[in-house]
Amino acid sequence: MKNPFEAFHQTAGRRREIPLDKILKSKEETLTKILKGYEDLLKNEAKDLVWLMQYSTVIKAYSIAEKGIEGIEYTAEDIEEFCYALDRSDQIPYLITGPAGVYISALCNYAKEEEITLHLRDLNVKINLLGYRLPPNKKLIVEGNVGDFTGIGLDGGELIIEGSGKNYTGAGMKRGKIIVRHNLGFNTGHGMTGGEIVVGGRIKGLGKIVGGKVFERDHLIFPNEGVKPFYF
């Protein structure tokens, strides 16, 4: 008897491997590695689900992050994927935005690209500490709003925020430039010794600034007659 499904048998799916499969596979693998490095950081730094924002903890977290990302081949798009993976995650430690910011900063600082754009407009959480220690010849553009301590310890790089930031932006920065399209919060530039902060909107309050320049809507507000440098 003739098989009635013979015609279907001959047209069985061809299913060939296309480069898209490789791209997606490699993307998944990279994300897994990046997440693994982040989990190691959390194991060390946020065991009790508490992370105190102190000078020493940030330095320690950054050095763990540097080790965590060692040997990982990634691009700016992978960093962005990681940010969204954090946002989607329901694991409580993932949502502690301090270590996340230090880790993302390390990823940006060691990325191959000189210019990195992170499209974070749809992110629900506002990540703190983005742009930490951004080195010279690096440009980080963040589309969306960011949290506290953005661009602290900036070390010669250029950080552009296409949105608003919160408190302590540019605190302790040494050189480089921070451009914020909209507004900033309190203690802006606290302890900064050099570099420039340029804000398109309003600044709620300046911190104790040692050196450098701060512009608000094209006006130099530090140093000027009313605001003198602070000496610690």
Partner 1 sequence: MEIEKVIQKVWPKVRKKHLFPQIPTPKVIEGGEDVALEIKSKQLFISNSFYEKLRDTMDGEEIVEAVLDHGITHYMYCPWDFHTHLTLYNEAKKVVKKKDLAQKATTYFMDVVADTYCVKQKETKIPNLYKNIAKTGVYEVLTSLYEKIWGVDLGSGEHDERVNRLSRIPYLERKRWGESIKKFTKVIQDILEEELENEQQNPQKKPNPLGEHSLDNYSLEEIDRGLREFASAVEDLQEFKETVEDLKEELQEKGYATGGMGRGKGSPIDANLLYYMKLAESYTLPIRKLPIEKRGDLHPHSHMPWEIGKPFADIDVWTSFGKIMPGITQIWTKREGETYGELEGTPDCLIIIDSSGSMINPRERLSYAVLGAACACNAYLKNESRVAVYNFSDALRGNKIVMDFNHEKEQIYQAICRYFGGGTALDLEDIQYLLSRSDNSDIFIITDMQITNLEKLIEFFNQIENRVTAVHLGHNVHSTRFKESTDKKKNISLFNVKNKEDIPKIVLGKIKEYLSSTSEWG
Q: How far is the CB of 32 from partner 1 (least distance, A)?
A: 15
Q: Is 81 in the site for partner 1 (CB under 8 A)?
A: yes
Name the amino acid, one letter, at 103. Y
> Shortest distance, CB of residue 105 to partner 1, whole angstroms?
21
Residues 108-127 that bind partner 1 (CB under 8 A): 117, 119, 122
- Cβ closest to partner 1, residue 44 vs residue 75: 75
Binding of partner 1 at residue 73 (CB under 8 A)? no
- Residues contacting 174, CB < 8 A, separation 6+: 153, 154, 155, 156, 192, 193, 194, 195
Residue 93 is classified by DSSP as G
Name the minimum Å distance from CB 119 to partner 1: 7
Own/partner long-range contacts of 211-219 (Cβ < 8 Å, ≥24 apart): 212/173, 214/188, 214/189
Shortest Cβ 42–partner 1 spacing (Å): 25
Asked whether position 54 contacts partner 1 by CB under 8 A, the answer is: no
The site for partner 1, by CB under 8 A, has a size of 21
- Residue whose CB is less far from partner 1, 2 or 16: 16
What token pair was written down for 189?
């530039």
Q: Is 77 in the site for partner 1 (CB under 8 A)?
A: yes
Is residue 107 within 8 A of residue 69, CB to CB? The reply is yes
Taking the C-alpha atoms of residue 224 and residue 213, their distance in angstroms, rounded to an integer, is: 9
Judged by CB under 8 A, does residue 4 bind partner 1?
no
Binding range to partner 1, per CB under 8 A, among 3-11, 90-98, 158-166, 168-176 = 3-11
Measured from the CB atom, is 23 or 92 closer to partner 1? 23
- Across-strand partners of 206? 188
Binding mask 10-49 toward partner 1 (x if CB under 8 A, else -) reads xx-xxxx-xxxx-xx--x----------------------
**Long-range CB contacts (< 8 A, 24+ apart) of 142-149?**
142/117, 142/118, 143/117, 143/118, 143/119, 144/118, 144/119, 144/120, 145/182, 146/120, 147/97, 147/101, 148/53, 148/185, 149/53, 149/101
Minimal distance, residue 1 CB to partner 1, in Å:
21
CB of 158 to partner 1, least distance (A): 18
For residues 33 and 11, give the distance between their C-alpha atoms in angstroms, rounded to a whole number.
Answer: 40
Binding site for partner 1 (CB under 8 A): 7-8, 10-11, 13-16, 18-21, 23-24, 27, 75, 77, 81, 117, 119, 122
